[in-house]
């Protein structure tokens, strides 16, 4: 993590932040943009006076920057309070907009989605508002395409497919383009939770493989409070929060500091993604970290698909059989290594990750699985030290185990 104290030795205390899938450190330029908005550009962007319109101009410039990162048109970008609200608006808003009165729409999804999708689906299913179909998973957490083809073909009611582009716990990348082709062939709308994709991986060229995309700027070095819903032209979304802002699609005064920071962070992400070798180098760092952990700690398991190209360059999910993830996380934190046990939203839970269990990972491994997530600034030295500290913490826990 940038800005940590100088090391006195290879294992001296220094914060090594490996929880970037939870949130990233705002870049200096993004933080400066948020500060400028809070101190100078604090006027309401909906006001017609000169000060308000100066703020409006900056908001729209930020929208253009985010649209460039998403390879989209600025008018199709809707700002929200965060990724969770964007997902709620995408799913409820789109399904409500396409569903005739009295009909029950179908949501097609998976059991390994982020809680923002998974728990919303469960709640709406219990309320009797949606019919929910869940796609089967194959090895490594990838959607079984043969079963998906059968399930999508059988859908009769208005429907929306919601699949995470890249999983927040394991980094598994779903075959979004193939799934989207199956869905669109049946008139099914496609939503992707791209929270972990955007800013780390380039957007595809040509026709996008989705109708609705959601993400959050604090995952790519913006500040918290700026979520994005990208709705393809022609896709109607019924607002959940009513108001005149965002062309009537999402009411509420805009969070200008977070939006301006998102625009700056988007520009920086575009520049970083322009050089493909940078992502390849980061992938090498992840692989080297996993190799070192495997060398230092016996019988660990990397929870991953069989092919490297099927997961993000920045995410490593490692299982430590018969250990408790929370205990290991506390020991690591005491030594300055910050990681996560699954999604940050589920921290504090003593239950194993439902994502890992749905992937078929044995409970004794899922209970002891940690997620280490890098950013584009993570260094080889940090990962080497983290692996050494991790091995020491595992050994300490195993020494305290009975038998």
Residues carrying an active site annotation: 345
Residue (of 272, 279, 276, 266) closest to 69 by Cα position: 266
Compute CA 264 distance to the chain's CA centroid, rounded to the nearest angstrom.
Answer: 19
Q: What is the distance between the alpha carbons of residues 33 and 262, in angstroms, rounded to a whole number?
A: 9
DSSP 8-state symbol, 246: G
Size of the chain in residues = 403
Q: Are 274 and 368 in contact (CB under 8 A)?
A: no
Q: Are 215 and 165 in contact (CB under 8 A)?
A: no
Count Cβ neighbours within 10 Å for each residue of 325-357 and write b for 16 or more, e otherwise: bbebbebbeebbbbbbbbbeebeeeeebbbbbb
Place of tokens 């965060």: 82
Q: What is the distance between the alpha carbons of residues 297 and 386, in angstroms, rounded to a whole number?
A: 13
Q: 244 vs 45, 67, 252, 270, CA distance in Å?
A: 12, 21, 8, 30
């Amino acid at each position: 993590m940038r800005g940590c104290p100088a090391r006195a030795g290879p294992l001296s205390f220094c914060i090594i932040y490996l929880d970037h899938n939870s949130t990233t450190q705002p870049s200096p330029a993004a933080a400066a943009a948020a500060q400028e908005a809070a101190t100078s550009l604090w006027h309401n962007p909906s006001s017609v006076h000169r000060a308000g319109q100066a703020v409006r101009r900056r908001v729209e410039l930020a929208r253009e920057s985010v649209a460039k990162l998403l390879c989209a048109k600025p008018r199709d970008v809707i700002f929200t309070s965060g990724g969770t609200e964007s997902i709620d608006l995408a799913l409820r808003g789109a399904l409500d907009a396409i569903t005739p009165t009295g009909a029950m729409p179908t949501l097609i999804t998976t059991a390994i989605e982020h809680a923002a999708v998974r728990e919303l689906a469960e709640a709406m299913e219990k309320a009797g508002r949606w019919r929910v179909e869940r796609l089967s998973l194959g090895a490594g957490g990838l959607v079984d395409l043969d079963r998906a083809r059968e399930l999508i073909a059988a859908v009769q009611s208005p429907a929306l497919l919601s699949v995470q582009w890249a999983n927040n716990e394991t980094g598994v990348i779903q075959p979004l383009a193939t799934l989207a082709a199956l869905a669109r062939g049946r008139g099914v709308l496609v939503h992707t939770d791209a929270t972990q994709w955007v800013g780390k991986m380039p957007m595809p060229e040509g026709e996008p493989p989705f109708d609705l995309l959601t993400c959050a700027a604090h995952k790519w070095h913006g500040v918290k409070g700026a979520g994005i819903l990208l709705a393809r032209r022609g896709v109607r979304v019924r607002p959940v929060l009513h108001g005149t802002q965002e062309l009537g699609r999402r009411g509420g005064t805009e969070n200008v500091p977070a939006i301006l920071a998102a625009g700056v962070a988007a520009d920086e992400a575009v520049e970083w993604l322009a050089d493909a070798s940078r992502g390849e180098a980061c992938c090498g760092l992840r692989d080297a970290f996993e190799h070192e952990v495997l060398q230092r700690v016996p019988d660990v398991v990397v929870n991953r698909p069989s092919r490297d190209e099927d997961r993000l360059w920045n995410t490593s999910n490692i299982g430590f059989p018969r250990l408790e993830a929370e205990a290991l996380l506390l020991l690591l934190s005491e030594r300055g290594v910050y990681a996560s046990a699954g999604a940050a939203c589920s921290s504090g839970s003593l239950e194993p990750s439902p994502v890992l269990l749905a992937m078929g990972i044995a409970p004794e491994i899922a209970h002891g699985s940690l997620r280490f997530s890098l950013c584009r600034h993570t260094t080889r030295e940090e990962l080497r030290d983290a692996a050494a500290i991790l091995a020491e913490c595992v050994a300490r826990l195993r020494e305290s185990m009975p038998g």
